[in-house]
Amino acid sequence: MTDDRRGLRRLQAVHWLLIGLVVVLVAAGIAVVVTRDDADPVVADPTGAPVASASVAPRLDCAPQITATWADAGKAKYGFVYRSRCDQVVRELRFRVTVLDSAGAQAPDGEETAYGGVLFPGGELAAAGGLHVSKDQKIGSLRVQVTSFEADPSGAFSAWAQTQVTDLTRGAPDSFGRFDVGGTVVAQPPSAQVCVAEFVLVMRGENGEIVYADVDPTTGQTLLKPEFSVGALPSLDFARTKIYAPQTPRTERPPRAGMPCNGS
């Protein structure tokens, strides 16, 4: 074979190699574009943890305000109240609840996760749950932090009812001082679907501080009627007692105008 033919074959080989590289690069570019179009955009924060992109992140001023907290190691319970502070509806609320000792340090097994209900503008809700700290743990305070949430225009919840518990009742105490607390659920508008996830009882003392909190899940209940059994509370001011009825959607579909809380 002559040198000219060898050179020609080398040129042809290089030519086809370049064409192959171009095809691969084009295919990869298409794949990247498709992936970014189909997936929700994600941006990493300076720590490397994934967070929602700025285009879908909720307004920071919509994180609810924690207005009161309470924890009791002996009763193995905690509770807190949170309030809306923006003009949008806040949902998918998640809180980090941390028990602190008298020195301000986190107590052993002192971290819990709490979830909130759909919070309407100007509204107030509460959460309560169990503690896993030792019953002998001296509690200095309870720190509650909002870790995540979503916010939507109020119009997306136009078909939702807003609920409250009225006509609170207090039963006669038994020989141990225990008594029952109940109430009636009222929805506005009355014809709207109600999706109460649980009832949260918050009881306060004469100075307005929380002296007891508890939760009554509604799972499996056909009648939405809260009922709590409460031990003796010497400093209780029952007139300040409140039962909250947080709602959560019973559908995975995003909220939109005219769609009730159960999505149907």
pLDDT digits (tens, 9 = 90+) for 78-109: 999 999 999 999 999 999 999 999 999 999 99
Is the Cβ–Cβ distance between 107 and 100 less than 8 Å? yes
What's the mean pLDDT in 175-198?
A: 95
Q: Which of 9-18, 115-124, 174-183 has the lowest mean pLDDT?
A: 9-18
pLDDT of 57 = 72
Measured between alpha carbons, how far is 120 from 128 in angstroms, rounded to an integer?
A: 19
pLDDT of 59 = 87
Q: Which pLDDT band, with edges at 50, 70 and 90, does 223 fall under?
A: confident
pLDDT of 35 = 29
Q: Which pLDDT band, with edges at 50, 70 and 90, does 204 fall under?
A: very high
Q: Which pLDDT band, with edges at 50, 70 and 90, does 62 fall under?
A: very high
210-217: strand order across its sheet: 210-217, 198-204, 242-244
pLDDT of 168 = 97
